[in-house]
Chain A
Amino acid sequence: MIQLTIDTNKIKEARNYAAKIVNSLTWLLQDYTSTTIERTVLRLMGIDGIAGDNTPIPNLVVEHLQQKKVLNRGAAYWLANAIVAKNLSAQEVAELVATNQLDLTEISAQPNQKVLEILDKISSENLAKIAEQRQIRQQAFEKYGRRNKPAIYVIVATGNIYDDVVQAKAAAREGADIIAVIRSTAQSLLDYVPYGATTEGFGGTFATQENFRIMRKGLDEVGQELGKYISLTNYASGLCMPEISAMGALERLDCMLNDAMYGILFRDINMKRTLLDQYFSRMINAYAGIQIQTGEDNYLTTSDAIEKAYTVTASQLINEQFALISGIEHKNMGLGHAFEINPAIENSFLYELSHALLTHTLFPDCPTKYMPPTKFATGNIFRTYLLNGMFNFVGQITDQGTQLLGMMTEAVHTPHLVDRALAIENAQYVFNATKDFKNEFTLKPDGIINKRAKQVLEEATDFLRKVSEKGLFQAMSAGEFADIVRTETGGKGLDGVLPKSEDYLNPFMDKMKTELKLQ
């Protein structure tokens, strides 16, 4: 069996530092809320649609409450109070607010008991919809069999959701297990979720609830034909993390890119905002049975993959702890890493194998997500195709959960139909040809692979110790992560962070916490 000889105490030590880092942020996660969390609550109450200048109604209602300086009590309270007083539906109340026909703060306070009752009813009804989607997914996997491992993950990114469906269906027929619809490049920094079906996007397609629905329908159709459940993934990241999760939960997405720190480091979103948003976002994913996937590959896109390998390990361990406190089980944690070592380095394949094994050893129960070579994909499509084959080989023999397939036309264009088909053919051949390879070999305990893994783990442990002593915010302010300096008051979206009042209400979070057995 190909496995590392590694000191389990060292793993424990690293994990403890990560837990300490995450647990020191309880004050933020428990006592604060954000504008996008409140918009998510509204969406979970069934509020949808746009008004005025094509602005989503959840945004308009939250802006109204923010202007009146009462958002810290929670949008749920104000909506419920109006629902009781006016005997209208949540959507009807929200529409009146969105069109300036109703001021929620002018409605007299209704009996608390009634407000709580209506919130209990609305939240139960809507959470039941999510639970139903979770069940449909479960039943489909029971009927058709579990997802392949490594799962073949490919991307569609035409900008037009209808073209995306054609390409996704073709990919499913060729053998894809998971389809990702890449988002339009500008979306992560939008402080709202666009509405409706979209046919224009750049570098990808907008994540909207309607687009989710259209793609889900397409994949269910082709899945039925093939006798296989095709999974769908999108990106719960950026300034609308929990809203995207809620939409994904309602439309039965199966995975979500959902990293705790990616937005802070790589999109310059404020750290308080991101950590708060990811907390609720991940809780929704946990409740919906959605597998989260994390973006550690980003640490290696500009930094050297050997020198900075420890940052991947450290981030995985931090992401794990953040996921745990949101109720995500290990079987739904797709922690990320990547095959990005310079192929010109002697024994680069052994180092890749070592890094991938370390990830597998640290997270044996997680469907880890392995990202393909991109940095050294030069436009020489033939060489890149070979690199992808080596990458697939490592993925199979280190038991990765998800193999995000490399495209030979990386660095040339967004994949053509043929590029994707050839990538799937590559993966299927390698996976099949090396199926039981890992059971036939053992590693030298003091060989290159073991030594390298030991070194990366040691460097990660030292790093986590340092961060746990300083605190996460201070470490980020000092540029400890990815050489990027981020401050507590810097970045986008801080104005959307606010302390909860004593009488704050969020029935969805309360119920999900109870069901997920969280504090």
Chain B
Amino acid sequence: MSIKIDPTKIKPYGDSLDDGRMQISFALPAPADEKGKEAARLLLKKMGLENIEVCYYSDLGEGFTHFVAYVSTNATIDLTKIEVKTVDTPVMDLEETDKFMAENVKRKITVVGACIESDAHTVGIDAIMNMKGYNHRFGLERYQYFRTINMGAQVPSEELLAKAVEENADVVLVSQVVTQKNIHIRNLTKLIELAEAEGLRDKMLFICGGPRISHELAIELGYDAGFGSGSYATDVASYIAFHFAK
């Protein structure tokens, strides 16, 4: 007997189809006792969840308690109606990109990159731009058809744009690693607004990247593309190559 899945009505799967089971873990400013446990259960109930089983709790000190619970949901999702914005260009490796650009772009593309504003982390921009790259994928610097300028971290938006103009950049690459209190959104918005004010927005390709950035978010913020965690220089390079291929 095979299981028949209805893609228009999918639910979480625990150990049988449509049981809706999920695991949940959270802390409450409540005591680690039966009263706290009941608070956790009621909270989950208010969220619309059912078959609530608070299977574990422990005292975190300072009046907080950690709860682990298993619950069921009745919510369903229609998989057939979902559209997600993703970077849809194919991903090529370094040699393929070099070859592709030699045939289709036929000139060097200048990329100016930085981790902007308060963010002091060079790890993201370095992984994409620098020669050595990351996890056995060389960075853009290593590619035949990229001229790269990596400005490092804590670069004010104004300076990044000034450099992009000075270098006649084709691409502006922005990294944001710190995301506490959504500082990355504020910084990315600032940069794109400045670019618009200076009339640069449509003259260059604006790409952002970082652990909490998705292509969809990037589009929403006014960028051309966004790359999240798990992205490598190969992803960024391929995207740029296809964009400039004519």
A positions within 8 Å CB-CB of B: 157, 159, 166-167, 169-174, 184-186, 188-189, 202-203, 266-268, 301-303, 342, 378-379, 411-414, 416-418, 421-422, 483
Contacts and interface: CB of A to CB of B under 8 A. Distances in A.
Contacts of A266: 122
Given A185-B178, A202-B118, A302 B61 contact: no
Contacts of A303: 132
Contact of B25 (A157, A159, A185, A418): A418
A269 B13 CA distance: 53
A452 B154 CA distance: 38
Given A189-B154, A202-B178, A418-B26, A301 B229 contact: no
B60 A417 contact: yes
Interface of B: 25-27, 58, 60-62, 64, 66, 118-123, 126-127, 130-132, 134-135, 152, 154, 178-181, 183, 211, 229-230
Residue of B120, B134, B179 with most partner-chain A CB within 10 A: B120
Contacts of A417: 27, 60, 64, 66
Given A169-B62, A411-B211, A185 B181 contact: no
A266 B121 CA distance: 9
A188 B27 contact: no
A342 B183 CA distance: 30
Contacts of B211: 411-412
Contacts of B26: 418
Contacts of A202: 118-119, 178, 180-181, 183
Of all A-B residue pairs in the complex, the 9 with the closest CB atoms, nearest first, are: A173-B61, A170-B61, A203-B178, A170-B62, A186-B118, A185-B120, A418-B27, A202-B183, A418-B66
A304 to B, nearest CB: 8
Contacts of B127: 302
B181 A159 contact: yes
30 contacts: A159-B180, A170-B60, A170-B64, A171-B61, A173-B60, A173-B62, A174-B60, A174-B61, A185-B120, A185-B121, A186-B120, A186-B154, A188-B120, A189-B120, A189-B154, A202-B118, A202-B180, A202-B181, A203-B178, A302-B123, A342-B135, A411-B211, A413-B179, A417-B27, A417-B64, A418-B66, A421-B60, A483-B130, A483-B131, A483-B132
Given A171-B61, A202-B180, 4 more contacts: A302-B127, A416-B27, A421-B60, A483-B132
A290 B116 CA distance: 34
A203 B180 contact: yes
Contacts of B180: 157, 159, 202-203, 413-414
A483 B132 CA distance: 9
A185 B27 contact: no
Nearest to A165: B62
B133 to A, nearest CB: 9
Contacts of A379: 229
Contacts of B123: 301-302
Contacts of A173: 60-62
A418 B62 CA distance: 12
Contacts of B152: 268
A28 to B, nearest CB: 25
Nearest to A169: B62
Nearest to A174: B61
A174 B58 CA distance: 11
A233 to B, nearest CB: 19
Nearest to B118: A186
Nearest to A414: B180
A267 B120 contact: yes
Nearest to B183: A202
Contacts of A418: 25-27, 60, 66
Contacts of B25: 418
B16 to A, nearest CB: 22
A19 to B, nearest CB: 30
B136 to A, nearest CB: 8
B61 A169 contact: yes
Given A159-B180, A418-B26, A378 B120 contact: no
A342 to B, nearest CB: 8
A303 B131 CA distance: 11
A302 B134 contact: yes
A170 B58 CA distance: 12
A378 B229 CA distance: 8
Contacts of A302: 123, 126-127, 130, 132, 134
A411 B124 CA distance: 12
Contacts of B58: 421
Nearest to A188: B120
B58 to A, nearest CB: 8
A157 B64 CA distance: 18
Contacts of B178: 185, 202-203
A452 B60 CA distance: 41
Nearest to A204: B180
Contact of A166 (B62, B122, B131, B179): B62
A202 B135 CA distance: 28
Contacts of A416: 27
A169 B25 CA distance: 21
A134 B22 CA distance: 52
Nearest to B134: A302
Residue of B118, B126, B132, B230 with most partner-chain A CB within 10 A: B118
A118 to B, nearest CB: 41
A152 B122 CA distance: 28
Contacts of A421: 58, 60, 66
A144 to B, nearest CB: 18
A305 to B, nearest CB: 11
A159 B179 CA distance: 12
A202 B180 CA distance: 6
